[in-house]
Structure 1
Amino acid sequence: MSKQTAVAATILVIDADTDLAAMFCNLLSFNGFATLRATTGQDGIQLAQLHHPQLIVCDIALPDISGYDLLASVRSHHTIFSTPFIMLTSDNDYTTFRRSMEQGADDYVVKSPDLQTVLRSVQTQLTKHEKLTQCLTTISAKPTYKQVITAVTLADLKDQFTTIKQQPWSSLWVVYLNDYEMLQRGYGHVFSQLAVQSLGQKLYQWQEQSNESFLTINTLAYLGGNRFVIFLSASKTPDQPSYVRVTTQLKTELQHPMVINNHRLIPDIYIECISCAQLATISMLETTLNRSTNSDSGINQLSLAARLRRAMQQDELQLHFQPQVDLNSGQIIGAEVLVRWMIPGKSPILPAQFIPAAEEHGLILPLGEWILETALQQLAHWQKIRLPGISIAINLSVYQLRSFHFLERLMALVNAAQVSPVMIDLELPERMIMEDLSQAKYLLTELQQRGFSTAIDDFGSGSLSHLQYLPVNILKLDKCFVRNLYSNRSNQVIVRAIIEMARGLNISTIANGVETARELSILKQLKCHSIQGYLFSPALTAQDFKKLLLEPSKAQSKNCLEHRSSLHAAVKIH
């Protein structure tokens, strides 16, 4: 950040501790910043609205309102909604951190004698905001819009509306980014603003390249939050099919994937088209522009991610457990935890259908934590009723593993459930090892030191050379290598190499997705330790899994496998 920017920046500090607030302000002033100070939330809101500071540093614990409420007020105000916001707290707690980020804070700083931490955070957020605003310039008043889009107020649009509605066949289009709130909660305010900026650039490019001769774009503007506004006029009476064609083309263009901070995002877009003749008054315009995509206005096309979030709130998610079977004893030795989305009256939605949406739209962290907490509680229940000792395997996403205080939060959930880490297999995706070997090694070491068994999920040949460096207990063979194993020589070579190397390193192997007795026969010849898949059992509800464990004859599992494998006992490795 340039010195000129630092001198020009005004920072609002809101803290009931007057001595500490004075220390912060003195530090900031010494480093060239202008400062404002408030000791209550209400005073802080008034100062923010009056002076429009470039950044706000706010304590969570205020005497009148909480820092969370103050943040919500800032984010809802049209003139200061984009102001960078640093949450200040004396509580170094993961839950507090997550809530702060989900509410839209840009950073979270724990109070300490080291005031340089606050200063570094301030400088980082101002630099991010400066880079963002460099891409957002003032809206042009000219009908031929030639600049990148920035935020405008509703008042700025009223005069333009009054002018354009006099033109024949004029219309108002409102473009909504349905993902905005989820992006803000999942990735923070800066990320969501970068998404808005990218969408604005796409709109600008569409306007510049539009070949619809009957349409003239008079105004293209960003109204704040998740809304863009377009005023258009037509040279002829526009028929409905023409509008449908144009809006469909625009929506398709806007929903092309965008990459933001190394995250691939497919935005969920809704476009509302209204004839200006239908908006007889300014108040009708205000009502239209102030409503959200979830109101009763007819904008009800929720994205998959939005519906998933609602499903999490309405307890539509359910854990299933797929048995893992030892190939020597035939006994069930564990279960992989799998999540299912159970919509009443419909078939369950599998993870492959909604996990990508959760990752792209900032829901993977709350979803992952729910899976962890629910699975641990189920394990505790099974142990309480003295079910046969089994382990549970829980998949972790890259986003969880890279999240702030993951290890501390994991241990808090384990301690709350009162279960032993020894009975828990934590599965890391192979892609994390390929992307960041050192971080994967660190996490695997830390997890093992805490007593967990660690596994690499969907293991292929890509990271085979790294095995000797990684503290790992289990390899789960990717089902793409298991499928048709008996007839695919290449897969046999790969699986043999993985199993033999794992055996030499004292690592267990689990074959995932075993569906046929022929596949089972080959895996037994290769001395794979255990399997899971439809050959033995699909994923079961907790109740059905309990019934399976309590079957009168524990030998049924072994007999079942032996019987099915004997059907193709003559199958040999090519």
Structure 2
Amino acid sequence: MLRNLRDLMSQKINKKAALLFVMAFIVVNYSFGLLVEGTEIYLISRISFQIIASAVSIWWIFLTFKKTKKAERQFWLFLCLGSLSYLTALCLWSYDEFTAKTHQTIYNLSGTFWICQNIFYLLGLLLLVYQLKSRLRTMRLILDILIIMSVAAAMSWRFILTPLLSQSASKLYVIKIIYPILDLGVLFGVLSLLTASHAIFNRKTKVLLIFGLLLLITADTIASYLTVLKVEIVGSNIDILWGSTLLLIGLSGLYHEEQPLPQHGEVYKHKKNHFLKIILPYSAVVAFFIVAGVDFYKSDTVFLSFFMVILLIIIRQIFTLFENEALFNKLSNINEHLEQTVKKRTEQLEETLHEVEHIAYQDMLTGLPNRRLFEKEFSDLLINKENQFAVMMIDIDRFKNINDNLGHSFGDLLLQEVGERLRDNRGSHCRAFRIGGDEFSVLIKYLSIEEAEKAAMNILAKLRKPYTLKDKDIHITPSIGIALYPSDGTDFDTLLTRADLAMYEVKKKGKNDFLFYDFSMKNLSGFELENSLHKAIEREEFVLYYQPQVSINTNEMVGAEALIRWNKAGEGLILPDRFIPLAEESGFIKWMGEWVLRAVCRQIVDWQKKGISPVKVAINISPMQFQQTDFVETVESILIETGADPKYLELEITESVAMENIEYVLCKLSSLKKIGFSISIDDFGTGYSSLKYLSQLQIDKLKIDRSFVASMEQNEKNAAIVRLTTLMAKELGMKVIAEGVENNTQAAYLKKVGCEEFQGYLFSPPLPKEQFEQLLVRVPVASYKGNRKMIETHGKVTLVSEE
């Protein structure tokens, strides 16, 4: 035990060893007392054990004081002074007892130091109460403390103070009277520490400290009560309690760790252990009534009954508190679960937002930044007007051949490798982006033209090197166009377009090279138009016009044809005959067709939401779009996406498409009919038709080409074609519509031969969606009668008479 004592006095103390020492000390102290009881060394052993306990406690508390940095440092200092006062008093008393033999001055002085112990403890606890005052702000906690203190004060007055005051008023008895009063103060501090919602000590420190101080109050109270009974307490087992008190207080210091401030939500965790805090004031009152009842038992039965009723009410209230505490804990658990759920969902949302932002700015195939991030970084560079930089457009020559011959998966691998080489080409002034398809762009900050030229040559050399993909050696060449800021343009679109023009000039001259843009390249309007075409959807430059379709027999507007227009920035409205051939040649027609279908579906749904009854809208389907293997799935997914009803949609296919690979076409048309679309053949009579196959197709309507309608009056053969086409369609169960009707004579002839519908300038030109919507609202049944036509005046659609 002495070896353990040396270890426990060192700077670095094992907490578990200290706890074992305290337990062993108490057992040995008690056991040794039993062995030597009645002998001369009994009292000496009791005092010796107390001195050892005091010294160990002082050292432990001092170590805690040294390592503590926060405000509670002063608390540990007062505890250390209190334990030191106890040791001083013990030494003085021992000197008087064993040497001076009842020297009254020394005896009184030791009593004063014992009182100082409680005074220092009280000061430390008052300091602690001051620090905890924000956590004792609720009136309920204050009332709980006052109830317990009142009961304790009453008990102390009844059983200790009153009997002591009745005894001799010597200085010794004055000291003994002060003990219970100071103990009440210590009790107040302990209750404040116990009821605080978030203590400044960890759980182990708090338990040891509270238990040690309560043991001190208990020992003092027993000692005072034995004094009242005039029982000798020197050398009694109370000495073991006092020694244990000192060790527990010292041990609490060893377990002390500076606590962080309470976090949001932490309060719920602590409120789960409120049972003791709630039961304490009621327990004190119950004890008080029991004692009072015993006093009144012999004097008055009525008073005893009154006390019993109050006692039962308190017990009932305690059970009610149990129920409330259970409900409160359940609510706390729910709140804690909700907080954890919200925290988790918030973290998931933040993670998702990071992923979305990452996806929004990164090309998923190559991992390079995409066009959106390119525009953002370009804008950042424009903040400093003194910056000089070049925009490179890079296109892989004959990439389509690689895709067609080796497959798209192979082409994707090649694009990934190209992206990796461009990424490796990073310098402090170089940044690569993927624009789309096989087009890449590089943004270069430069100090001279030579520097930009050197960068282009490095990129050419890197991309020309052979690629080994799936055990195949692939050789490719790039074409690079370069535009400079600010000499070639001062905005993103202009620079990108001009770099694109320079790149197309490289391709025109044989590919596998680079060129800087110069203003003579403006003549390449076709290339510029094709390049802009790819960006038109992103810039929302495409718009739809609607040309009404009218029933000749009922004069009702029965439908409309959706016609695409290109409202190109800086040029105005571009008609389809300029950009449709480019779109077909480049393959962009597929995406353009999907855009038209999606836009029409959304428009139909929008009309329905506005309470406008829509008409059936015809949409042109290009041969390339129709021949896509996933065409049916694509249109079906657009319907699901937009929520449009297919009964309001009519798909127009060309005559040549309908007669090519008839089995494939029949299967596709059957699927489209099952979905709910109407099918018509556009420009009928201008291509090659087989009447045998025409009868097999699930066609709802034939559209007579405008070239036949325009020349009916001058060309009898064309008039005969219109008449025979109408007759044949009727026999096959199809409707007939004529397009390009511009005068009453044409309309009259069409009505005569049995054509049911027409569209053309006689009724209305193609209208923007806003004006067509006005037409739907104002003229739900078209007023076409004889010599009437639709004209447009100051942006308003009006029916007027030609007469």
Q: Please report the TM-score for the alignment, with normalisation by the length of structure 2.
A: 0.37
Structure 1 stretches of 4+ with a deviation exceeding 6 A read 76-86, 295-298
Deviations, residues 233-272 of structure 1 (Å, cap 9, x unaligned) = xxxxxxxxxxxxxxxxxxxxxxxxxxxxxxxxxxx95159
Deviation at 1:468, TM superposition (A): 0.8
| Matching residue of 2:743 | 516
Deviation at 1:393, TM superposition (A): 0.6
CA contact (8 A) 1:329 1:558 kept: no
Q: In the alignment, does 2:486 pair up with 1:225? A: no
Following superposition of structure 1 onto structure 2, how do residues 205-220 of structure 1 map, counting pairs within 5 Å? Answer: none
| Matching residue of 1:494 | 721
| Matching residue of 1:394 | 619
CA distance, structure 1, for counterparts of residue 508 and residue 394 of structure 2: 26
| Matching residue of 2:536 | 311
CA distance, structure 2, for counterparts of residue 429 and residue 79 of structure 1: 34
Which residue of 69, 73, 76 corresponds with 2:366? 69
| Matching residue of 1:270 | 505
Deviation at 1:324, TM superposition (A): 0.4
Question: What root-mean-square deviation, in Å, do the aligned CA atoms of Structure 1 and Structure 2 show?
Answer: 4.5
CA contact (8 A) 1:414 1:420 kept: yes
CA contact (8 A) 2:397 2:476 kept: no
| Matching residue of 1:546 | 773
CA distance, structure 2, for counterparts of residue 548 and residue 441 of structure 1: 37
Deviations, residues 341-374 of structure 1 (Å, cap 9, x unaligned) = 1135645211121111001012111111111111
Which residue of 345, 348, 355 corresponds with 2:573? 348
CA distance, structure 2, for counterparts of residue 511 and residue 346 of structure 1: 32
Following superposition of structure 1 onto structure 2, how do residues 145-160 of structure 1 map, counting pairs within 5 Å? Answer: none
CA distance, structure 2, for counterparts of residue 537 and residue 80 of structure 1: 47
One-letter amino acid of the structure 1 residue matched with residue 596 of structure 2: I
| Matching residue of 1:485 | 712
Structure with more helix by fraction: 2
Q: In the alignment, does 2:585 pair up with 1:360? A: yes
CA distance, structure 2, for counterparts of residue 447 and residue 530 of structure 1: 23
Look up the SS of the partner of 2:607 in the other structure: helix
CA contact (8 A) 1:182 1:362 kept: no
* Number of residue equivalences: 331
Deviation at 1:549, TM superposition (A): 1.6
Following superposition of structure 1 onto structure 2, how do residues 67-466 of structure 1 map, counting pairs within 5 Å? Answer: 68-69=365-366, 106-107=407-408, 224-226=477-479, 269-270=504-505, 301=524, 302-344=527-569, 346-460=571-685, 462-463=688-689, 465=691, 466=693
CA distance, structure 2, for counterparts of residue 273 and residue 412 of structure 1: 40
Deviation at 1:500, TM superposition (A): 0.6
Deviations, residues 121-147 of structure 1 (Å, cap 9, x unaligned) = x8xx9xxx9xxxxxxxxxxxxxxxxxx
CA distance, structure 1, for counterparts of residue 646 and residue 611 of structure 2: 17
- Relative to 1, partners in 2 of residues 1:550 and 1:467: Cα closer, same or farther, differing over 3 Å? same
Deviation at 1:339, TM superposition (A): 0.3
| Matching residue of 2:254 | none
Structure with more strand by fraction: 1
CA distance, structure 2, for counterparts of residue 405 and residue 541 of structure 1: 31
CA contact (8 A) 2:559 2:618 kept: yes
CA contact (8 A) 1:334 1:390 kept: yes
Deviation at 1:308, TM superposition (A): 1.4
- Relative to 1, partners in 2 of residues 1:558 and 1:444: Cα closer, same or farther, differing over 3 Å? farther
Deviation at 1:552, TM superposition (A): 5.8
Look up the SS of the partner of 1:342 in the other structure: strand
Deviation at 1:290, TM superposition (A): 7.5
Following superposition of structure 1 onto structure 2, how do residues 562-573 of structure 1 map, counting pairs within 5 Å? Answer: none
CA distance, structure 1, for counterparts of residue 664 and residue 507 of structure 2: 46
Deviation at 1:292, TM superposition (A): 6.7
Deviation at 1:299, TM superposition (A): 5.6
CA distance, structure 1, for counterparts of residue 513 and residue 367 of structure 2: 21
One-letter amino acid of the structure 2 residue matched with residue 225 of structure 1: P
Q: Percent identity?
A: 30
CA distance, structure 2, for counterparts of residue 85 and residue 72 of structure 1: 24
Q: In the alignment, does 2:702 pair up with 1:475? A: yes
Deviations, residues 88-114 of structure 1 (Å, cap 9, x unaligned) = xxxxxxxxxxxxx9xx99335xxxxxx
- Relative to 1, partners in 2 of residues 1:71 and 1:489: Cα closer, same or farther, differing over 3 Å? farther
Moved more, 523-532 or 547-556: 547-556
One-letter amino acid of the structure 1 residue matched with residue 639 of structure 2: V
CA distance, structure 1, for counterparts of residue 760 and residue 614 of structure 2: 21
- Relative to 1, partners in 2 of residues 1:71 and 1:499: Cα closer, same or farther, differing over 3 Å? farther
One-letter amino acid of the structure 1 residue matched with residue 729 of structure 2: A
CA contact (8 A) 1:476 1:509 kept: yes
Deviation at 1:453, TM superposition (A): 0.4
Deviation at 1:313, TM superposition (A): 2.4
Name the structure, 1 or 2, with higher relative contact order (CA <8 Å, separation 6+).
Answer: 1
Structure 1, unmatched stretches of 5+, are 1-64, 87-100, 109-121, 130-152, 154-180, 186-221, 229-267, 275-287, 569-574
CA distance, structure 2, for counterparts of residue 223 and residue 484 of structure 1: 53
CA contact (8 A) 2:546 2:561 kept: yes
CA contact (8 A) 2:680 2:703 kept: yes
Look up the SS of the partner of 1:495 in the other structure: helix
Deviation at 1:450, TM superposition (A): 1.1
CA distance, structure 2, for counterparts of residue 555 and residue 333 of structure 1: 9
Deviations, residues 502-529 of structure 1 (Å, cap 9, x unaligned) = 1011101110111122111111111101
- Relative to 1, partners in 2 of residues 1:226 and 1:344: Cα closer, same or farther, differing over 3 Å? closer
One-letter amino acid of the structure 2 residue matched with residue 226 of structure 1: S
CA distance, structure 1, for counterparts of residue 789 and residue 772 of structure 2: 21
Deviation at 1:548, TM superposition (A): 1.2
Look up the SS of the partner of 1:393 in the other structure: strand
- Relative to 1, partners in 2 of residues 1:527 and 1:432: Cα closer, same or farther, differing over 3 Å? same
CA contact (8 A) 2:545 2:769 kept: yes
- Relative to 1, partners in 2 of residues 1:404 and 1:292: Cα closer, same or farther, differing over 3 Å? farther
Deviations, residues 285-328 of structure 1 (Å, cap 9, x unaligned) = xxx987577x7898664432112123232221110001000111
CA contact (8 A) 1:326 1:332 kept: yes
Look up the SS of the partner of 1:329 in the other structure: coil
